[in-house]
Amino acid sequence: MTNPLRTAKLARERGTRWWRQHIALAYIILTSAFALAFLIVRLIDRKLPEWLSALGVSPSGVNLLIGTAWCGLGLWGIRTRGNGAGVIVIYVLCMFGGVLMLAKAFQLF
């Protein structure tokens, strides 16, 4: 009978060895995942005002909805634990963008 700890250790080593042998593939997969996430967020951010306007939402209402969503995402990200400094900066910028959209919605500038 095999020891479960030894089996788990061998499985970890096999997985680690595979990624070490295919480091270029790992970088391609990681870069593609970030690019895909960026393109999806960019598409939604660019087309959402048009979609909401087509539904009859006023321009200030569009700014209010998008600003609230960005602020909520930023606050949620800041409150989650285990994030690094770079991720926290991204969430702070997201929240700052939401605050600017809300200021635009309420015509503060």
* pLDDT higher than threshold 80 for residue 12: no
Which residue's entry shows tokens 């770079």?
86
Kindly compute the dihedral angle of the four CA atoms of residues 12, 30, 46, 97, in this order, to the nearest 10 degrees. Answer: 70
Do the Cβ atoms of 59 and 66 come closer than 8 Å? no
pLDDT in tens, 35-71: 998 898 888 878 888 888 888 988 889 889 989 999 9
